[in-house]
Amino acid sequence: MSRHDPDHDAVCASSAARRVVVAPPGTGKTHLAARLAGSLIPHLPSPPVPDTTVGARVLLLTFSNQATAQLARAAAQQLSGGVRRRVVVSNYHSLFWTAVRAHRTALGLPPELEVVSAKRRLQALTAVDPTAVKRLNKLPGLLDAFAEQRFPVFRDDRTPDASLTARLLAAVEAEHKAGRLVFDDFGALFWQLLDHFPALEAAYRARYPIIVADEHQDASALQDAVIRRLNPATLVVLADPMQLIHGFRGARAERLDAHLQDCDAQFTLCTPHRWHDHQHAGEWLLAVRERLDGRAAPAARLGGAQITRRPAKYGTSGMLAPTKYAVSAAFNAGHKRVAVLTRNNADAGRIRSYLTREGCHPRARTGGTDFEDARAHLEDLATLSGPHDMAHHLATAVAEIVPDFPNGLAKQIEKRLKPDGVDLKRCSPDAEPILNALNVLYRDGTAVYFPVFVQVLDACEKAGHHVPPSDMVRAIRDTATTTTGCLDTDIVAASGRLRAAAQRPPREVDGLYVMTAHQSKGKEFDAVIIADATHRSYPEDLEGRNLFYVALTRGRSMWTIIATDTDHTPLLRHL
């Protein structure tokens, strides 16, 4: 970003120890964060050994791997080598995981740690009290981060009674002692380190006397508490209240309000840098923001933004064909990155399957959802004992991985997998190559599971089906090429590949994406299609408004909003 911005200048020129910067999407927050980190270097204590990793650092802290990569790239572009070395760019999971792994013995953890799926943790908790856990699982984020309930400061109105809490925490502790962690354990274990080892807490405070907290509207109670506990001499909070999604890891407006009350200076970024080639688009989106927030802001709707009406009588199925036409229109207009956004995963899955059958081939899911599905597959695989069970397991996984895999073909394959082998008599031509591959599993044993998996995927591709290049598919293919002939060893290798993939930022490549509006946060697309702009998906309440705004601001130059002729969201009037 090369355009001068007086708002950025004001933030960097401020000497306030506590600053809050309200940063709407596209206003150059990433550029500002890197520039600000560099400008704060002179306020750090001098390193005892120049040009080394020893000494205090500015901590630039964010949430996702993608945001971490973007901030690191911006810092590398703006800061000289010596200055850049004194800025640490990290996300919360990485910060916590590094500490937990380094001090695992002090935490009572075994030498080997494994990141397991949320499904595996839920099974451990369900064994304690199935009825209670089923009820608690309806409360967003509670069971995923239940290790935090060990500390009274993180208990709230979702916390169960003392007896049940103690029993569930005992189950979590047993998982920890077995070396099985979920991602949300990292924060609780980091907090435990600070509680039990004051010298370590003092070391972190000395290491990071200046913190820039990015996207802080999404901070959980623990993440916000960590920032406050480290008590930096300078704290700059970058946040946008209109991107706060309630219920996400317990994010609440009250925490951001507390920072606004405590700060010495508050700033708002107002220049839409992301749309510098489309000035009217940036002005329109900022005006929509004002109107969604209840203020008057005149700005005519762009020619690149249109509302498509569909008959409400067809229900959610009625959004499929208009979505396909909108996708075709976006690519025909020359756009390279196109996103279809929905309110929930069920609608995203339905649209993804439909578009794949229509030959559009959305790119694979990445990030947490892909990791959870893949990790759960490997965990279930490790519990199976023979070729027959594994063949069924593999066939089920393929039907889920390949979005255009016909239901009839999946049922035929399942019926032909017998306890003693594969029934090939009078099978259909499209089933035969898949069944032949699965027959190798019966013939050669479970050690060839991963090579057989690859043979089945190859057979699907040869038949014309789309196999998305997901992290799971890559892990399976890579493990097959290095198979050891021991299934348990191969499962460990595949798990390691998945864990490494989960810690890498997703690749930003052109193509078609289908995801929820929530999953689109932090991403940018040439064209955005909001597939189900109904009152059900985007009601006129705080969360509906925020999600609708997040979805709109993912686009650069083209927006298609698919609404019904009767039950459309009332938020459309703000466009």
DSSP 159-228: ---HHHHHHHHHHHHHHHHTTEE-TTHHHHHHHHHHHH-HHHHHHHHHH-SEEEETTGGG--HHHHHHHH
Q: Is residue 27 part of an annotated ligand binding site? A: yes
Q: Is residue 479 part of an annotated ligand binding site? A: no
Give me the pLDDT at residue 205, please: 95
Give me the pLDDT at residue 272, please: 84
Beta-sheet pairing, 337-342 with 421-422: unpaired
User: Using CA atoms, how far apart are residues 417 and 423, in angstroms rounded to an integer?
Assistant: 7
Give me the pLDDT at residue 372, please: 82
Confidence bin at 359 (pLDDT 50/70/90): confident
Token digits of residue 341: 């956004």
Matching residue, tokens 């940018």? 524
Q: Is residue 187 part of an annotated ligand binding site? A: no
Q: Is residue 368 part of an annotated ligand binding site? A: no
Residue 2 has pLDDT above 60, yes or no: no
Residue 316 has pLDDT above 80, yes or no: no
User: Using CA atoms, how far apart are residues 57 and 41, in angstroms rounded to an integer?
Assistant: 8
Domains, the chain, ordered by start: 6-97+191-268 (3.40.50.300), 114-178 (no CATH), 283-366+510-574 (3.40.50.300), 368-503 (no CATH)
Terminal-residue alpha carbon distance, the chain: 28
Give me the pLDDT at residue 236, please: 98
Amino acid occupying residue 100:
V
User: For 388-430, what is each residue's pLDDT tens digit?
Assistant: 999 999 999 999 888 888 889 999 999 999 999 999 999 999 9
- Residue 217 vs residues 5, 21, 212, 241, 266: alpha-carbon distances, Å: 23, 11, 13, 6, 15
Across the chain, mean pLDDT equals 90
What residues contact 377, with CB distance under 8 A and at least 6 apart? 393, 397, 472
User: Using CA atoms, how far apart are residues 140 and 80, in angstroms rounded to an integer?
Assistant: 43
Half-sphere exposure of 188 (CA within 13 A, CB side): 23
User: For 148-174, what is each residue's pLDDT tens digit?
Assistant: 999 999 999 899 999 999 999 999 999
Confidence bin at 51 (pLDDT 50/70/90): low
What residues contact 240, with CB distance under 8 A and at least 6 apart? 22, 23, 24, 25, 215, 217
Nearest to 227 by CA among 249, 209, 246: 209
Contact 446, 487 (CB under 8 A): yes
- Residue 379 vs residues 115, 315, 450, 492, 519: alpha-carbon distances, Å: 11, 37, 14, 10, 25
User: For 186-198, what is each residue's pLDDT tens digit?
Assistant: 999 999 999 999 9
Q: Is residue 26 part of an annotated ligand binding site? A: yes
Least confident residue range of 140-149, 274-283, 358-367, 416-425: 358-367
Give me the pLDDT at residue 281, please: 83
- Which of 370-374, 405-409, 436-440, 562-566 reaches the highest mean pLDDT? 436-440
Give me the pLDDT at residue 64, please: 84
Q: Is residue 419 part of an annotated ligand binding site? A: no
Contact 212, 236 (CB under 8 A): yes
Q: Is residue 569 part of an annotated ligand binding site? A: no
Residue 257 has pLDDT above 80, yes or no: yes
- Residue 467 vs residues 72, 272, 368, 472, 507: alpha-carbon distances, Å: 32, 38, 19, 11, 17
Give me the pLDDT at residue 250, please: 66
3-class secondary structure for 15-27? CCCEEEEECCCCC
User: Using CA atoms, how far apart are residues 111 and 103, in angstroms rounded to an integer?
Assistant: 10
> Which of residues 286 and 338 earns the better pLDDT score?
338
Give me the pLDDT at residue 396, please: 93
What's 447's DSSP letter?
A: G
* Largest separation between any pair of C-alpha atoms in the chain: 79
Q: Is residue 489 part of an annotated ligand binding site? A: no
Alpha-helical regions (H) of 333-448 = 345-357, 368-382, 387-401, 407-416, 432-444
Q: Which run of H or of E encompasses 560?
A: strand 555-564
What residues contact 459, with CB distance under 8 A and at least 6 apart? 433, 434, 437
User: Using CA atoms, how far apart are residues 33 and 150, in angstroms rounded to an integer?
Assistant: 34
Residue 79 has pLDDT above 70, yes or no: yes
Confidence bin at 481 (pLDDT 50/70/90): very high
Q: Say what the pTM is.
A: 0.84
Residue 453 has pLDDT above 90, yes or no: yes
Matching residue, tokens 């190798």? 440
Nearest to 521 by CA among 549, 500, 543: 549
User: For 97-113, what is each residue's pLDDT tens digit?
Assistant: 999 999 999 999 999 99
Contact 571, 292 (CB under 8 A): yes
Beta-sheet pairing, 305-310 with 58-62: unpaired
Amino acid occupying residue 58:
V
